Structure 1
Amino acid sequence: MIRTRLTLQAHDGHALTAYCHAPQGPTRADVVIAPAMAVPQSFYADFSAFLARLGYRVWTFDYRGMGESRYDSMRGCKADISDWVAQDFDAVVQHASQTPERLPIFVLGHSLGGQTAPLLPSVARLAGLVNIAVGSGATRHNQPGVRRQAPLLWYVLTPLLCRLFGYFPGKRVGIIGDIPRRAMLQWRRWCLTPDYLLSAEPGARDAYARAQYPVLGLTFSDDELLLEAGSRMLHDAYTDAEVDYRVINPQQFKLRRIGHFGFFKPSQEAVLWPLVSDWLNQRCAAA
């Protein structure tokens, strides 16, 4: 596997740091990994290397203002989630799809990355979407412990701290992570809407309904953040796509825990990661 650090240009010229994990042999397809909220692309490095060893060219990136794409002060970052999707995420998809081989291109979205994939301007280029721990962040779809804390986060901390600091200082208060002000306020609006982005973001429900690419959805029964009902709601919104939706119980694989983030642990290479690689192999054969 050959790992290369790149500086890509978002559609509006903003610089993004990305990595290409390329196989040493023939390439089967391109895979773009879209991160969860406040999760750096480095979190997906081991999984990217795993797919690269199987012949997939994997692209990871950080949204502007996040991880290695944070070049200035967070206060100066004016991005919202729509910018992350239409300007950053989409630019990486387009870059990956313009390689000389013009191979099938897949997106693997973790949480926010999978939620927003149908909103990509270049969504027609996708040969498939893999959703990992993708569900609704609406408060009614939060796990009970998260739901009890949600009013403090959304009605007190978010408006107060965003106004005071010019961004959400999640690292300072031990909640989520540092997030640009506009992105946090947009996410707040989604989370305070019963059907999350499907009804809070204009055009989102129609974008899900128009999707033609196949979807693999892996939801984990011990997710500490999101209820399975919210994940099912989002996947049911793919009314015209082939959806392979699976609820994974850790006990099925003799695991103590998976949760919202555990799929990407290196210890899951022989246990959970083949669920994705096998599906990709089948889709590449079909393509």
Structure 2
Amino acid sequence: MSATRLALQAQDGQQLAAYRHEPSRPPRAQIVIAPGMAIPQGFYATFAAFLAGLGYRVWTFDYRGMGESREGPLRLCKADITTWIALDLESVVQHATRQDATLPLFLLGHSLGGQTAPLLPSIRKVAGLINIAVGSGATRHNQPRIQRSAPLLWYVLTPLLCRLLGYFPGKRLGILGDIPRGAMMQWRRWCLTPDYLLTGEPGAREAYANASFPVLGLTFTDDELLRESGSRMLHEAYTSAKVDYRVLSPGSFNQERIGHFGFFRAHQEKVLWPLVGEWLDQHC
């Protein structure tokens, strides 16, 4: 296995940092990992290496303004979530397809990356979607602790700081990480809408309904951010797709905690990661 750093160019000329994780034998399929909000691609590197070890060519990347794709002051980054999907994720999918159009291509989305997958312009190139901790970020679907702080975040901190600084300084506040103003304000709109992006983003519900690829959804009972009801709502919006939706508890795997981020920890290699490997085996 090997990991190669690449500089990909989006359609508008923006440079993006990406890594290609190559298996030691001819790849069975390609997998593009779409990261969660403010999560750098390095967080997924160990899991990407695991998938490469199973014989898949895996692509990780950072959205513009994030991680290794960040260039200059974040206040100058004009990206919103639509830009991240329609240009950044799209460029990675297109590049992967050009590498080998004969291989099936799967998306693996963590949180935001899975929520927005149906909005990808080249969604017809996708052979399947794996959702990890993907659910609705609407305030009614937040866990109680998040619900209590949501009014301060959405009605005070986000509009005020984005206006003053030109971006959201989440790293200093201990709330996620630094996020471009456009992305944070678009996310705010979704989170203040009862059905999240399904009604907060024009065309999103239709995009979900029109998706026909198989979906694996892994949701965790101890997710500290999102309620299971919101995850179920999004997966039920795939009305034309075959959805394998699983609600997993840490106790079932002799673990104290999994949560919103724990699936990608290295110790899950022999516990949770094989669930994805088995599903891919069935759909390749």
TM-score between both structures, scaled by the size of structure 2: 0.99
Q: Which one-letter code corresponds to 2:206 in the other structure?
A: D
> Is 1:134 aligned to residue 134 of structure 2?
yes
Runs of 4+ with deviation above 4 angstroms: none
Give the secondary structure class of the aligned counterpart of 1:17: strand
Name the residue aligned to 1:281.
Answer: 281
| C-alpha deviation, 1:102, in angstroms | 2.1
| C-alpha deviation, 1:149, in angstroms | 0.3
Q: Which one-letter code corresponds to 1:193 in the other structure?
A: T
Name the residue aligned to 1:114.
Answer: 114
Give the secondary structure class of the aligned counterpart of 1:239: coil
Name the residue aligned to 1:221.
Answer: 221
| C-alpha deviation, 1:35, in angstroms | 0.2
Q: Trace 1:154-233 onto structure 2 (pairs within 5 A).
A: 154-233=154-233
Give the secondary structure class of the aligned counterpart of 2:124: helix
> What CA deviation, in whole Å up to 9, does each residue of 1:144-169 have, x standing for no partner?
00000000000000011101111000
Name the residue aligned to 1:36.
Answer: 36
Within 2, Cα distance between the matches of 1:100 and 1:66?
27
Is there any run of 5+ residues in structure 2 with no aligned partner, and where? none
Is there any run of 5+ residues in structure 1 with no aligned partner, and where? none
Give the secondary structure class of the aligned counterpart of 1:20: strand
Within 1, Cα distance between the matches of 2:100 and 2:78?
34
Within 2, Cα distance between the matches of 1:260 and 1:50?
20
| C-alpha deviation, 1:262, in angstroms | 0.1
Within 1, Cα distance between the matches of 2:214 and 2:34?
17
Name the residue aligned to 2:236.
Answer: 236
Name the residue aligned to 2:153.
Answer: 153
Q: Which one-letter code corresponds to 1:28 in the other structure?
A: R
Name the residue aligned to 2:86.
Answer: 86
Q: Which one-letter code corresponds to 1:126 in the other structure?
A: V
Give the secondary structure class of the aligned counterpart of 2:47: helix
Q: In the superposition, relative to structure 1, how do residues 10 and 101 fare at CA in structure 2: closer, same or farther (>3 Å)? A: closer
Give the secondary structure class of the aligned counterpart of 2:99: coil
TM-score between both structures, scaled by the size of structure 1: 0.98
Name the residue aligned to 2:18.
Answer: 18
| C-alpha deviation, 1:25, in angstroms | 0.9
Name the residue aligned to 2:74.
Answer: 74
Q: Which one-letter code corresponds to 1:14 in the other structure?
A: Q
Within 2, Cα distance between the matches of 1:87 and 1:100?
20
> What CA deviation, in whole Å up to 9, does each residue of 1:252-282 have, x standing for no partner?
1111100000000000000000000110111
Give the secondary structure class of the aligned counterpart of 2:240: coil
> Is 1:252 aligned to residue 237 of structure 2?
no
Moved more, 100-109 or 216-225: 100-109
Give the secondary structure class of the aligned counterpart of 1:218: strand
Within 1, Cα distance between the matches of 2:43 and 2:78?
24
Give the secondary structure class of the aligned counterpart of 1:255: coil
Q: Which one-letter code corresponds to 1:167 in the other structure?
A: Y
Aligned-pair identity (%): 71
Moved more, 262-271 or 93-102: 93-102
> What CA deviation, in whole Å up to 9, does each residue of 1:182-210 have, x standing for no partner?
10000000000000000000000000000
Give the secondary structure class of the aligned counterpart of 1:98: helix
> What CA deviation, in whole Å up to 9, does each residue of 1:7-41 have, x standing for no partner?
00112110000000000112100000000000000
Name the residue aligned to 2:57.
Answer: 57
Aligned CA RMSD, in angstroms, stands at 0.6
> Is 1:103 aligned to residue 106 of structure 2?
no
| C-alpha deviation, 1:101, in angstroms | 5.6
Name the residue aligned to 1:123.
Answer: 123
